[in-house]
Amino acid sequence: MLPNAEGRKVPQVTFRTRADGRWKDVTTDEIFRGRTVVLFALPGAYTPTCSSTHLPRYNELAPVFRKVGVDEIVCLSVNDAFVMGEWQQDQNAPNVRFIPDGNGEFTEAMGLLVDKSDLGFGKRSWRYSMLVKDGVIEKMFIEPEKEGDPFEVSDADTMLRYVAPREKAPEPVLVFSKPGCPHCARAKDLLKSRGVVFEEVAMGKGITSSSLRAVSGKGTAPQVFIGGRLIGGADELERYFAGPDRKAA
């Protein structure tokens, strides 16, 4: 059975990271001491579930976690610093801190280093998430011991429900944009000023005005969708945020 470390201090480990093209040692004390941190660990960078669901949702909900008192969200994987750095850029996840546990020291001390040699991975982390306050693990969500790569409880929404049961997760936001479009830039700046995390689909890479018309009924960019509803362009987005129930948003 995989161990649950609730009530224990996090292991004392020094991570070998990269910053500005140089090696930088980061200790667990630097990450956790005197702070409230959500850490989620996953089997590997660039793997399907990690890239498509696990990481993006934590990045999306990061502003909500900060609002309810979480100082930082950390993504940890048994990968080297170069791989984690490239993956962070590829994922465009600025709201999450990527920590490479290259030698698996932290993961092994947590008792969650597992053998995935059958996949050619070697030793990797089991998928889990945890809430750490001042270096002490308050809560862990460890995926069930099933064959494959279960993803049932370590997700961002489950953690948010634990941290702040009454807090409502924001609706997903999608922006269809066109390179060099000033109205697109205005819409994106407005979303950023409101702390809204959004996904952007740029026209010109297999996405045409016909594609945009098919999903929105309009062929001009930007077109903003919130929670599956079409809001429209930059002007419509401004009116949306000016609504009486969104003045504090």
Which of 163, 183, 199 is at the close of a domain? 163
User: Rounded CA gap, 210 and 219, in Å?
Assistant: 7
For residue 153, pLDDT over 60 is answered with yes
Assigned domain for 8 exists: no
Beta-carbon neighbour count of residue 113 at 10 Å? 18
Q: Exactly one of 50, 75, 181, 184 is catalytic; name it.
A: 50
Chain position carrying tokens 């060099």: 180
| Contact (CB, 8 A) for 112 and 127 | no
Assigned domain for 4 exists: no
Beta-carbon neighbour count of residue 217 at 10 Å? 10
Which of 163, 192, 222 is at the close of a domain? 163
Residues 166-216 pLDDT 10s: 998 888 899 999 999 999 999 999 999 988 888 899 998 788 889 999 999
Concerning whether 50 is annotated as a catalytic residue, the answer is yes
CATH number for the domain harbouring residue 85: 3.40.30.10
| 67 and 152 co-located in one domain | yes
For residue 213, the enclosing domain spans 173-241
Assigned domain for 136 exists: yes
| 118 and 36 co-located in one domain | yes
Assigned domain for 221 exists: yes
User: Rounded CA gap, 197 and 107, in Å?
Assistant: 30
Q: Which residues lie below 8 Å from residue 112, measured CB to CB, with a gap of 6+?
A: 2, 3, 41, 125, 126, 128, 142
Which of 163, 186, 216 is at the close of a domain? 163
| Contact (CB, 8 A) for 175 and 191 | yes
Number of domains, the chain:
2
| Contact (CB, 8 A) for 44 and 50 | yes
Residues 1-28 pLDDT 10s: 899 999 999 999 999 999 989 999 999 9
| 19 and 70 co-located in one domain | yes
User: Rounded CA gap, 74 and 26, in Å?
Assistant: 13
Residues 40-64 pLDDT 10s: 999 999 999 999 999 999 998 999 9
